[in-house]
C-alpha cells in the first residue's frame, strides 16, 4: 500500500448549489486519513464539470491525481491504496448480526429498567420479541421486494401469493404483543403458524432441495443467504410461542 506521508494529491469533485457529491467528500477524507496533502478543487457548475470531464476524458467525478498521475474515482483510490472494494452483491451476514445485536441491547436495557437486573427470563423473551419486530420492520420497508423474494422458497406463499404481503404484518403483530405480554391468545397461534410454515419451507429449500437462495428475512434487497439465519428466525418464533404456553405463572414478561 502506498505511503501517503508527505505525498501530494489533487482532488476534483462536484459541489454545486444543487448537489454535493458524497463520494467526493469520502475521497477527500480517505486521502487525508492516509496522510496525503490534498489540493481540493471543487467543480461548482455544470459547465465546469463538463469541461473537466472532456479535458481528462473521464465520465465521472470525483477524480484523484497523485503526484500528477490520475488514479481515478473513489473505488479506484481504494484499489490504489490496497484497500478492499466492497462488492454490493457479496453475500453477507452483517445486517442480521446488527439486527440481533440491537435487539439484545434493547432487551437488556428494558430488563434493567423493569427489574434492575440484566439476567432475567424476561430479557430472553424480550430479545426474541424485539427481534421479531425488527425483522418485520425490515420486511415492511420494501414489502413488494420482500414478497417477491419470499416466493422463491415459502411453501404457503407459492400457493397463496398474498401470504407474502401478510407475513410481515403477522410477524410484527406477534412481536409487539409479546413485548407487551398482552393478548397471548393472538400472538401465540400467529407466531406458531408462521414460524412452522417458515421453518418447513426453509428446511426443504436449503437442506432437501439444496437450493442456493437469498433470504428475505431482512428485506427484499438482502444479500443474506437462505439457511441457518432464516431457519433460526422461524425456530425462535416457534420456541417463543411454545414457551408462552408452558411457562410457569409469574415468570417472564409482565411480571
Given a cut of 80, whether residue 222 has pLDDT beyond it is no
What is the rounded distance in angstroms from the CA atom of residue 113 to the CA atom of residue 126?
13
Rounded to the nearest 5 percent, the helix, strand and coil shares of the chain are 60, 10, 30
Name residue, grid cell 425462535: 236
Whole-number CA gyration radius for the chain: 25
3-state secondary structure 7-45: CEEEEEEEECCCCECHHHHHHHHHHHHCCCEEEEEEECC
CA gap 31, 209 in Å, rounded: 48
Q: Which domains are seen in the chain, by residue range?
A: 8-80 (3.40.30.10), 94-246 (no CATH)
- Would you call 104 helix, strand, or coil by DSSP? helix
Q: Dihedral angle at the C-alpha atoms of 195, 196, 199, 203, nearest 10 degrees?
A: -170
Query: 89: number of CA atoms within 13 Å, CB side?
Result: 1
Q: Indicate the SS3 state at residue 247.
A: coil
What is the chain's mean pLDDT, rounded? 87
User: Cell 437442506 belongs to which residue?
Assistant: 207
Q: What is the mean pLDDT of residues 51-62?
A: 93
Q: How many CB atoms lie within 10 A of CB 5?
A: 9
Q: How confident is the model at residue 68 (pLDDT cuts 50, 70, 90)?
A: confident
Alpha carbons 99 and 153: distance in angstroms, whole number: 22
Residue 240 has pLDDT above 70, yes or no: yes
Name the least confident of 121-135, 175-189, 235-249: 235-249
pLDDT band, very low/low/confident/very high, at 24 (cuts 50, 70, 90): very high
Assessment of whether the complete model's pTM goes beyond 0.85: no
Query: Comparing 70-79, 85-94, 104-113, 241-250, which segment has the lowest mean pLDDT?
Result: 85-94
Q: Across residues 10-25, what is the average pLDDT?
A: 93
Contacts of 34 (CB under 8 A, 6+ apart): 4, 81
Please give the pLDDT value at position 119. Answer: 82
Amino acid at each position: 500500500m502506498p505511503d501517503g506521508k508527505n505525498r501530494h494529491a489533487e482532488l476534483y469533485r462536484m459541489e454545486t448549489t444543487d448537489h454535493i457529491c458524497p463520494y467526493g467528500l469520502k475521497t477527500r477524507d480517505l486521502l487525508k486519513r492516509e496522510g496525503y496533502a490534498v489540493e481540493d478543487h471543487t467543480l461548482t457548475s455544470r459547465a465546469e464539470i463538463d469541461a473537466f470531464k472532456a479535458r481528462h476524458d473521464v465520465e465521472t467525478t470525483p477524480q484523484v491525481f497523485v503526484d500528477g498521475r490520475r488514479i481515478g474515482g473513489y473505488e479506484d483510490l481504494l484499489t490504489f491504496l490496497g484497500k478492499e472494494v466492497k462488492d454490493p452483491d457479496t453475500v453477507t451476514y452483517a445486517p442480521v448480526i446488527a439486527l440481533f445485536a440491537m435487539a439484545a441491547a434493547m432487551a437488556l436495557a428494558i430488563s434493567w429498567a423493569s427489574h434492575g437486573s440484566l439476567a432475567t427470563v424476561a430479557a430472553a423473551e424480550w430479545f426474541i420479541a424485539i427481534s421479531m419486530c425488527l425483522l418485520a420492520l425490515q420486511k415492511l420497508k420494501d414489502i413488494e421486494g420482500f414478497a417477491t423474494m419470499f416466493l422463491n422458497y415459502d411453501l404457503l406463499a407459492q400457493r397463496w401469493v398474498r401470504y407474502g404481503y401478510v407475513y410481515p404484518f403477522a410477524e410484527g403483530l406477534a412481536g409487539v404483543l409479546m413485548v407487551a405480554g398482552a393478548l397471548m391468545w393472538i400472538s401465540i397461534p400467529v407466531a406458531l403458524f408462521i414460524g412452522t410454515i417458515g421453518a418447513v419451507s426453509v428446511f426443504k429449500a436449503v437442506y432437501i432441495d439444496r437450493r442456493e437462495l437469498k433470504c428475505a428475512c431482512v428485506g427484499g434487497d438482502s444479500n443474506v443467504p437462505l439457511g441457518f439465519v432464516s431457519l433460526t428466525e422461524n425456530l425462535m418464533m416457534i420456541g417463543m410461542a411454545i414457551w408462552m404456553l408452558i411457562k410457569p405463572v409469574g415468570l417472564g414478561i409482565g411480571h
